[in-house]
């Protein structure tokens, strides 16, 4: 796992996008983890990730009988 400051990621975004293809990149702001870059291989995978992280999806799933 790579850890880099927000300023560094902003300056070299393309390099960090490439780096996240092999392992996640944790982005820090004021020395605290603020975000993570993770590679997405296919559109279906992205859809699954977005749905899994969506509070609206979680609410809708909890309501289903």
- The pLDDT tens digits of the residues spanning 49-64 come to 777 777 776 665 555 5
pLDDT at residue 41, as a whole number:
82
Distance, CA of 24 to CA of 9 (rounded, Å): 13
Which position has the higher pLDDT, 42 or 62? 42
Phi, psi of 40 (to 5 degrees): -120, 120
Domain limits for position 13? 2-63
Q: Work out the average pLDDT over 24-37.
A: 96
CA 18 to chain centre: 14
Pair 4, 25: CB distance under 8 Å: yes
pLDDT at residue 60, as a whole number:
57
Distance, CA of 59 to CA of 65 (rounded, Å): 12
CATH code for position 42? 3.40.1620.10
Is residue 2 pLDDT above 90, yes or no? yes
Number of domains in the chain: 1
């Amino acid at each position: 796992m790579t850890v880099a400051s927000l300023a560094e990621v902003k300056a070299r975004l393309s390099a960090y996008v490439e780096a996240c293809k092999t392992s996640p990149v944790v982005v820090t702001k004021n020395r605290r983890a603020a975000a993570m870059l993770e590679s997405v291989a296919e559109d279906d995978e992205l859809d699954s990730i977005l749905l899994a992280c969506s509070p609206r999806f979680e609410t809708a799933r909890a309501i289903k009988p």
